Each structure stands twice: as structure tokens, then as C-alpha cells.
A and B are shown apart, each in its own frame.
Chain A
Amino acid sequence: MATRVTTGAPAVIRATDAHDAELIQRVRQRDDRAFRALFDRHAPTAHALALRIVRQRQLAEDIVQETFLALWRSPEAYDERRGSVRSWLLGTLHHRAVDVVRREEAQRRRHDRALAGLDLSAPDHAEEVVLELARDSERRAVRAALETLPPEQRAVLEWMYFDGLTQREIAERERLPLGTVKSRTLLGMRRLRAALAEDEG
């Protein structure tokens, strides 16, 4: 029997990306079930990212709501040539969250707030259970890929992505030449991408 084995995370990642594209198509036809499916799938990661960046529960929720409302209102804004639905959603959310942080930053230093008491996502459909399992193995793969970065490259990526700092701000704070921060960014991103691709291949 001529069959092709597809096991493990990467195949499923591609399957979920394809499924996302299909869901977006249905959202464009105002299918609210497809929208709910996209929300169930991506909102927990989006919410975690918003919380990590703005560190305020209410603000984070507002940002998640705005991001998904924008998707519901104008799903045609998504352009598949620019990447996956997930990277688009997370990119939009990231942009909003960093904007908020920068605005807030001008007024006062933000401080950590206890995030305890927040429920972890509890999938309530079998489909979600399976996709959740797929995502868990994907998360492990991403964490492992991040581990392969030299610490100074990884730090620069995380300061930018999670703390909303610009390359210039990092250079000033860490007393590094701006060129060093820029090259660490580029090398770190290339290396992370390669590690992710290797994991997939």
C-alpha cells in the first residue's frame, strides 16, 4: 500500500495552518462557528502574549478583544502571502500591546502583577484536545529551538518581543553599541528560524 507517514508535530502544524486558512475563508462568509474555532485556537496564546507584554489583566483582555474584533470585522485584511493566520493574529496583537506599553511607559513604570488565579485553557471539544496536544508538542519544539540560541541573542529577542523595548533602548540600557544589538537580533532570528525549520524537516 503506497502510504506516506506523517507523524509528530510538524505535520500537524501544517495541518492546523491549512485548517486556519479554511476557517478564515468561512469567517469571510460570516460563519461565526469558524470564528469561534479560530478564537478557541489562538486566543489563549494571544492572551498569554498580551499579559506578558502589558502585565495588566484588564488591558490584556481589551487587547485580545480588539485584535479578534478586527479579525471578525475585516477578515479580508489577512493576506495569506504574508504568512500564517497565527503569525498575522499574533503580530497584530503584539503591535497593539507594544503600543499600549509605550504609551503607558511615558506615564509610569509598569510593575509586575500577580497573574495567579487565571485559569489555564481547558479545551472543551475533542478537536481542541487533539489540536491542543499538537500545540503542546509545537511549544516544546519552539522552546527547544530557543534554547539553542546563544544567551545574548536570546536576551535581545526577548527584551524586544516581550518587554517592548526597541533596539536603541536595549543598546542604551545594556551599554552596547547599537550595531551589536542589531546583529544579535538578525543572527538570533536567523538561528531561531533555522532551528524551527530543522525541527520541522
Chain B
Amino acid sequence: MRPEHETIEELLAARALGGLETDEERELDRLLAEHGDCEACRRLAREAAETAAALALTLEPVAPPAGIIERILAAEPPTTAAEPADELTRRRAARSAQPPRRSSRPWWSVGAVAAALVALVVSLSVAMPGTQEIRSVNLAQRVVRFEGDAGVLAMAYAPGRPGAIFWGHGLPDLPAGQVLEIWMIDDDRPTSGGCAVPVDGRLALAVDASIGTTDQMAVTVEDASCPDAPTSEPVLVAPL
């Protein structure tokens, strides 16, 4: 590392915190320009920025008024990125104009989907006032990410307390009549944590099951009957 990097680090640290005066800012810019495309400088800048930003996390977050996002989105869009955007918007609009794919599935599959969605809404409405409820168990919560090739799935729960929240995206598009079943494996004995069907690859689900003594979580693809024991290899697993 070049000797000036110590000076640069000092100035970058102060700048990330907003602590430089104009002449010091200029001094820093001059040094950085001298170094040009310097990976060490970039790393120091990155570290200073991340560390300073961490300070903001010590504050209790405060929700901004809802109007802000609407005002931003209502503002004139930029002209530069308009081309690909229009294309995308069109494609997205075209997609959402199509009838939902599952309408072509047999009635029992629709039933399965509906059941999963009802379970989702009901348990979430229990969990969501849950802002309070969940906040109160925060101190003990754990977040676990499942591993596997079937998309991203995370689970949050408080050890020793019933209930877990699952959230996923990029999950597989299941053939008609199939569901994802969540398993809690305790001493090689799987217990079903419930079944769900991802919508557009996304899944949000709260279950009442207790994760307390479970040593592994797994997800398999099962038929819509949501069997009591897994019939296939897991597509996602999370050792606890």
C-alpha cells in the first residue's frame, strides 16, 4: 500500500462521516485523482462508506409518510432510459393481461391453490398485528436461509416459540396439482409444516408449527393432498 493511503484513509473516514471542511475535501479529491484507478483507494472508500452507513442503523427506523413514494413515481420520468423501459412495461402489461395460468388447471388444483392462499391470509393476519407481536419476540428471533437449487427461501422464527414465517422468491413453477411442502425433521422424523403454492415464484407464508426441537428443515415437491410423509427428495434444506 502506498504511504499516502494512510492519509487517504483518514480523509475518507472523515468524509464518510461528513466531517471535512471544503479545503480538506479538495485535498482528498486531489489525492484520489493522483491515484487514478486505484483498487486500494476504492476499497478504503467502500469500507468508510459501509462503516458510516452502519451508524444509521443504530437509529430506530421511522416510516416516511406514504405520500412520498407516490409523489416520486408521479414525477416526470427520465427520458434517457425510456426505450428499454417501454419495452419492459409493454411485456409486463401483456403478461398481466393474460388470464392467470392456474385457471387452466383441474378444479382440485385450483382448490389447493385457494386453500394455500387462504391459509396464507389467515395466518398472516394473525401474525401481522404481528408488527407488535413480532417485534416483541425479536430478541430471540433467528433467520435461516434454505440451501438448494430451487430458488431462495428464508425462514424467521423465535426458538422456543410457536410460529415461523417463510418468504421466498425464484421458486420453481410447479406443475398442476403439485405443491411445496415444508418439513420439520426431528430425529429423522419428518413432520409437515404445511403446503403452499408459489405465485409467480414467490411465497409468503406463516405457519403455527413449533420449530423448537427441529434439527433440519426441508422442502419437497408433493401432490396437492399435502401428504403426511415426504415422497420425494428435498429441493431445499436448512440444517438448524
Contact = CB atoms under 8 A, between A and B. Distances in A.
B98 to A, nearest CB: 18
A64 B73 CA distance: 14
B185 to A, nearest CB: 11
B204 interface: yes
Given A28-B81, A73-B78, A130-B167, A44 B62 contact: yes
Nearest to A99: B18
Which of B62, B84, B89 counts the most A-chain CB atoms under 10 A from its CB? B62
Interface stretch (B42-50, B101-109, B111-119, B172-180): B42-50
A138 B57 contact: yes
Nearest to B203: A126
B110 to A, nearest CB: 22
A166 B21 contact: yes
A110 interface: no
Interface string B9-20: 110011011111
Contact of A87 (B53, B61, B135, B238): B53
Interface in A118-134: 118-127, 129-134
Interface string B47-90: 11111111111111111110011011101011001101100110
Interface in B140-161: 141-145, 147, 152, 154-156
Given A35-B73, A91-B16, A48 B62 contact: yes
Contacts of A170: 19
B59 A45 contact: yes
B239 interface: yes
A140 to B, nearest CB: 8
A24 interface: no
B53 A119 contact: no
Interface string A156-182: 011011101111101000000000001
Nearest to B45: A82
B143 A126 contact: no
Contact of B17 (A8, A125, A136, A161): A161
B63 A168 contact: no
B213 interface: no
A90 B61 CA distance: 13
Contact of B64 (A4, A36, A61, A135): A61
B142 to A, nearest CB: 6
A129 B138 contact: no
B19 A185 contact: yes
B212 interface: no
A192 B65 CA distance: 32
The 4 A-B pairs with the shortest beta carbon distances in the complex, nearest first, are: A126-B204, A30-B85, A44-B61, A121-B63
